[in-house]
Structure 1
Amino acid sequence: MQDVLLDYGDTKMRVELPDSANVLRLAEVDTDPPAVDPAAATRRALANPLGTPPLRELAKPGQKVVIGFPDRVKGGAGPQCHRRVAIPIIVEELLAAGVRLEDITLLCAPGLHRHNTLEEWYWYLGKEIVDMFWPGRLLNHDAESPDIVDLGQDEMGNIVQVSRLLAEADLPIVVGHCSGNPYGGYSGGYKMLVTGHTTWRCISSHHCPKTMHRDDWLGATPHSHQRHQFRSIGEAIEKGIGKMIFGVDAVIGKKAQVLDVQAGLLGEIEKATWPLADKRTNYALDAAEPADVLIMGLPRNFHYGPGMGSNPILMSLAIGGQLSRCWGAFREGGVIIAAAVCDGWFNPKWFPSYAETYEALQKYCTPAEFLTSKDADALSANPEYCYSYSNYNTYHPYHAMSMISGGSVPAQRTSAVYIAGAKAPGYARGMGFTPTATFKEAMAMAQRHVGKTPRILCTPDCFTGGMGVHLHLKK
């Protein structure tokens, strides 16, 4: 037997697995190509952009320039991380072209995440660049701003809305990270624009059941319907504002180290960064057949913030995201066992709408029925929650709806999802999962679906071991 420590709330859960179980510790996986010097790579990319003249030629004296950048959720915070290195170099290029410093604005792109604080900007951007722009020209995009630019619908029928500040800039620039996402393929490219600088109505076009419950949502592919929506909305934004958006994206590794930097048109950047991201993100599991049981551990605090492993809605999305990453090595109809405290702590300071959203969900037979209801629409536009999002650094109320869309996928694609160690079991049941007091009990119940000797895949540190990987079987 193997002793395995699963992430579990604020501690670990020790479990025993048979020797035949495939235990993939993310901390031990090394799929990263060699890192590059991020400053040199950024300068090289800016000097040789894809599909457009260099930034120094595009920029002109008197222009208003907006530089969009990702929020705290992704990208790392060390001194060599992409945002922290790239933004000062971009500013340097603009100044050299004659743009005045006072005509440059930095625009954080939280989308529906909580607005980032000054303290957080110091943490991941560094003091020098923050002090250069704070307070008047270092801002959060506000998805509830009354002057959002409404561009109607794209050719796919998606709602197209975007930040006015970005839309009216003479030279709009976005800095992004190309990293393996559990859905949508990769961050960066058009995804950075259409999820970070838009509105809940726009995001509801692609973070919804009709997109996230499709077969092609699973497997974390960049060729899914959702990724096509990202591109379609992004191209519609560029057409609607009458200008192309200049991107500066880095492919990043497990610890957010920079593996490559590409600059230029967003569509061209995607073509240039995805092949390297494929090598970094896709992992061939040493197994001949897909697993019958997927085991994972959930800490309390990760990705979206404190409470993700205890808030039942966020917990369900974490399970759905990891299922998507593992879809190439797991069979449909298998069983998931997730070690999670599931104690009902919603973290109302960050996620004030989530408790009410959870209670509203319980009145409906299926998550999809709820998400298309008037109740869900009213909650998504609730003035109190939207005001809190804009003014008090909380998550937007539609964020909970998008999490339910992805979090309801595991119950549709498996025979059962067991939450081992649930402290408030009713919350697990409310998300369509089965709570168990112990991991051993969950394994015994799983065997009713998959037999006494199932093929087991365990990812014990999938949320704490570094940037995730997308699993496939060795051919």
Structure 2
Amino acid sequence: MSIAPTRMIERTKRRQPATEREACVVEVHEHSPPTLFHSGEQFRLERLPVGSRIVYPPPPMKGLIDVDAAICAALDSPLGMDPLDSLLRPGMKLTIAFDDISLPLPPMKLPDIRGRVIEHVLERAYRAGVEDIHLIAALALHRRMTAAELKRAVGSRIFDEFYPDRLYNHDAEDPDGIVDLGKTRHDEDVELSKRAAESDLLIYVNINIVSMDGGHKSVAVGLGTYNSVKAHHNVHTMRHSKSFMDPSKSEMHNSTNRQGDIVEAAVPIFHIETTLNNDMFDGPLSFLAKPEARWTAREQTTFAALKRTTDRMNPKLRRAAFHKSTAPYSITGVQAGAVGPVHEVTLEHVAAQQAVYVKGQADIVTAGLPYVGPYNVDSILNPILVMCMGLGYFFNLYQGVPLVREGGVMIFTHPVKREFHPVHHPSYVDFYEEVLSETKDPAEIERRFEKSYAEDEWYRHLYRTSHAYHGVHPFYMWYWGAHGLQHLGDVIFVGGDAEACRRLGFRRADTMRDALEMAEQVVGRDPSLTHFHCPPLFYAQVEA
């Protein structure tokens, strides 16, 4: 297979040594070792054709030496706002909102940075005589966090003091807990948590693991409702968001920014954003983040044992073992203050860790899909979420132009089993059985089915009282892939369940060799091929 002759990688901002930069893009030759593919809770080793290109994540950046000092500095010298201490006073109503369990993935080793930041905020609030304080997990339309999950995020001390009356999950369907803040100039509804909207100060504590998150999106989405979220989580907006990882070129971000302007005009907001490195694998498994050619003999032996063990494990036990894993992330930045300047610095930190510059698109892009995404923490990556992971997230991990050319093919490895978590994803089952049996077209799905699922009283009840995702959530997961569906000529899953792949509208193959032969039927003979070697998380800065 041939590929574009020029292959170059650079890093922005905090550059890594040249040898590390060059290691991020590797050309496959006849003596190259097999390439690691994630496939759900298992691993695959595949030999890619000679001349293929592999894009690896950058190595982890060094974290801050003193995280607590960095938090204090951010609160004392915020960007575009007065110091936090000067904003706190006796008798005020203070609300602290924070990101839910959809990130980071895998969960970070304790202590969680959200709890560390909130500890510092509370210390200053108590010193200022503030008594009316509430903590809200900003769920949007995600499932409610359990008590144990809340405790893990904020820490035992905060949990014991605030839960459950003053530490709780946002409820986007509470008729008495939501206020209407009006409409944007584009007629987009802006609804928000009543407690947050009526606060004298709202503090938002964020973790940014991708450039898509943070900024105005934190409050407008995290504390919003279906009416406000549907303004940008729709097929038209998703298809016109040509790069979710480049907010300046994303219609979704344009919409959330307009909503954010309305929110910021209604309530003072002090944003605290934190960034992590991509150190996902701990201890003896750290080699999984390295190019296979750099594995030592001991690491090769460790991998062989790991693969043999996971292949033989009972599927439920294997899933449980993977979901118990945590990542030794280091904190790379803490910034606080006004939304604009804070998020600008955040995006610089994310780019410094994650941006990989790649010259030229490919006819075929391959990738292995891991076991966990933002919406199946301690759960199951059901077929709808597999589609979202592949076409909604992996396809969109780029800036500039997609890594795969228009009309090209993406090949994923994943079992795509027809499995659903009965508590977390009840509306997903019905979406899979009812909606996808009728049509796969996102626009038709939106027109014919969305409203009935979004307003279904049973789904609403499960969202509010159990731990179910909102009834409309599977629709939004399908819409996330709308741009990818429009851009690609074909999607193939290696090892995917035949019935599930047919229901999703994708093709499947038994082996990578078979998948490549199928792809050549779409893109022609002697295609260029790039393997997107994720995780750890990164995005490609692609120059056509």
Q: Provide TM-score, normalisation by structure 1.
A: 0.90
**CA separation in 2, counterparts of 1:31 and 1:143?**
37
Letter in 1 for 2:272: V
Aligned mates of 1:410, 1:34 — CA distance in 2: 34
Which residue number in structure 2 is paired with residue 369 of structure 1?
A: 444
Cα displacement (A) at 1:450: 2.5
Q: Which residue of 2 is the match for residue 251 of structure 1?
A: 275
Indicate the residue corresponding to 1:189 in structure 2.
Answer: 215
Deviation at 1:310, TM superposition (A): 4.7
Q: 1:177 to 1:385 in 2, by over 3 A?
A: same
Give the corresponding residue for 1:391. Answer: 465
Aligned to 1:293: 364
Q: Supply the AA of the counterpart residue of 1:166.
A: A
Q: 392, 414, 418: which one pairs with 2:492?
A: 418
Listed as ranges, the matches of 1:316-331 within 5 Å are 316-320=387-391, 321-326=393-398, 327-331=401-405
Q: For 1:165-244, list aligned pairs within 5 A.
A: 165-180=195-210, 185-214=211-240, 216-218=241-243, 220-223=245-248, 224-239=250-265, 241=266, 243-244=267-268
> In the alignment, is residue 443 of structure 1 matched against residue 467 of structure 2?
no
Hey, what's the Cα distance between the residues in 1 that align with 2:381 and 2:129?
Answer: 51
Q: Following the alignment from structure 2 to structure 1, what is the Cα–Cα distance between the partners of residues 379 and 144?
A: 17
Post-superposition offset of 1:280: 2.1
In 1, Cα distance between equivalents of 2:227 and 2:149: 27
Q: Deviations over 1:328-360 (max 9, x none)?
A: 432121110011111211222211100111222
Contact 2:424 2:469 in 1 (8 A): yes
Does the 8 Å contact 2:275/2:346 carry over to 1?
Answer: yes
Equivalent of residue 188 in structure 2, options 152, 158, 162? 158
- Measure, in 2, the Cα distance between the counterparts of 1:246 and 1:49: 9
Aligned equivalents of 1:395 and 1:155: distance in 2?
30
Aligned residue pairs total 456
The equivalent residue for 2:38 is 7
- Counterpart secondary structure, 1:13: strand
The C-alpha deviation readout for 1:218-260, integer Å capped at 9, x for no partner, is: 3621112211211111111222x3x321111112221442211
1:219–1:95 CA distance, 2 compared to 1 (3 A): closer
Q: Summarize the Cα distance change of 1:434–1:310 in structure 2 as closer, same or farther, 3 Å threshold.
A: farther
Q: Structure 2 vs 1, CA of residues 471 and 394 (structure 1 numbering), >3 Å: closer, same or farther?
A: same
Provide the C-alpha distance between the structure 2 equivalents of 1:109 and 1:289, rounded to a whole number of angstroms.
39
Structure-1 separation of matches of 2:379 and 2:387: 9
Contact 1:77–1:123, Cα closer than 8 Å, also in 2? no
Task: Say whether the 8 Å CA contact 2:440–2:504 is kept in structure 1.
Answer: no
- Deviation (angstroms), 1:150: 1.3
In 2: Cα distance, 1:344 partner to 1:453 partner:
34
Q: CA deviation at 1:437?
A: 2.9
- Give the fraction of aligned pairs with identical amino acids, expressed as a percent: 29
Distance 1:19 1:33 in 2: 34
What is the SS of the residue equivalent to 2:136?
strand
Indicate which of 347, 365, 381 corresponds to 2:455: 381
Structure 1 runs of 4+ with >4 Å offset: 306-310
CA contact (8 A) 2:188 2:228 kept: yes
Letter in 2 for 1:297: G
CA distance in 2: counterparts of 1:246 and 1:63, whole angstroms: 15
| Aligned mates of 1:112, 1:308 — CA distance in 2 | 17
How far apart are residue 420 of structure 1 and its match? 1.3
Q: Does the 8 Å CA contact 1:178/1:189 hold for their aligned counterparts? A: no
The answer to whether structure 1 residue 57 and structure 2 residue 86 are counterparts is yes
Alpha-carbon contact 1:219-1:470 (below 8 Å) kept: no
User: Which residue does the alignment assign to 2:385?
Assistant: 314
Which one-letter code corresponds to 1:361 in the other structure? L
In structure 2, relative to structure 1, the CA distance for the partners of 1:351 and 1:309 (3 Å cut) is closer
Q: Is the 1:143–1:199 Cα contact (8 Å) retained in structure 2?
A: yes
SS at match of 2:409: strand
User: Kindly tell me: are residues 110 and 172 of structure 1, through their superposed partners in 2, closer, same or farther at Cα, counting changes over 3 Å?
Assistant: same
SS in 1 for 2:214: coil
Contact 1:33–1:279 (Cα < 8 Å) also in 2: no
Residue 170 of structure 1 aligns to which amino acid in structure 2? Answer: D
Paired with 1:62 and 1:365, the residues of 2 have a C-alpha distance of 54
Q: Which residue of 1 aligns with 2:287?
A: none
In the alignment, is the contact (CA less than 8 A) between 2:367 and 2:532 conserved in 1?
yes
Question: Residue 34 of structure 1: CA displacement?
Answer: 4.5
Report if the CA contact (8 A) 2:112-2:152 is conserved. no
Instruction: Describe the shift of the 1:186–1:35 C-alpha distance in structure 2 as closer, same or farther (beyond 3 A).
Output: farther
Match of 2:50 in 1: 19
The structural deviation recorded for 1:392 is 0.6
**Could you tell me how far apart the structure 1 residues matched to 2:242 and 2:167 are?**
35
Q: How far does residue 369 in structure 1 lie from its aligned partner after superposition?
A: 1.2
Are the aligned partners of 1:150 and 1:161 in contact in 2 as well (CA < 8 Å)?
yes
Say if 1:23 and 1:459, in contact at 8 Å, map to a contact too.
Answer: yes
Give the one of 329, 332, 345 matched to 2:419. 345
Displacement of 1:403: 0.5
The aligned residue for residue 264 of structure 1 is 337
Q: C-alpha separation between the residues in 2 aligned to 1:354 and 1:211?
A: 22
Structure 2: how far apart are the matches of 1:266 and 1:376?
A: 32
Map 1:35-184 onto structure 2 (within 5 A): 35-75=64-104, 76-100=107-131, 103-147=132-176, 148-180=178-210
Q: What displacement does 1:396 show?
A: 0.8
What's the RMSD between the two structures over aligned residues?
A: 2.1
Separation in 1 of the partners of 2:256 and 2:65?
28
Contact 2:99–2:138 (8 Å) recurs in 1 = yes
AA partner of residue 418 (structure 1)? I
- Pairwise CA distance, 1:198: 0.5
Structure 1 residues 301 and 49, CA gap change in structure 2 (3 angstroms): closer
What is the deviation of 1:317? 0.9
Task: Note the alpha carbon deviations across 1:65-106, whole angstroms, 9 max, x for none.
Answer: 110000111144333542121000000111111112xx1111
C-alpha distance 283-455 of structure 1, shift in aligned 2 (>3 A): same
Counterpart contact for 1:176–1:248, Cα < 8 Å: yes
Give the counterpart letter for 1:262 in structure 2: Q
Give unmatched runs, 5+ long, in structure 2.
1-29, 280-328
Return closer, same or farther for 1:211/1:331 CA change in 2, 3 Å cut-off. Answer: same
Superposed CA deviations along residues 374-427 of structure 1, whole A, max 9, x for unmatched, are x2211111111111011111111111111110123322111100011112x232
What are the superposed Cα offsets for residues 200-225 of structure 1, whole Å, 9 maximum, x if unpaired? 221111111111111x4336211122
**2:538 equivalent in structure 1:** 469
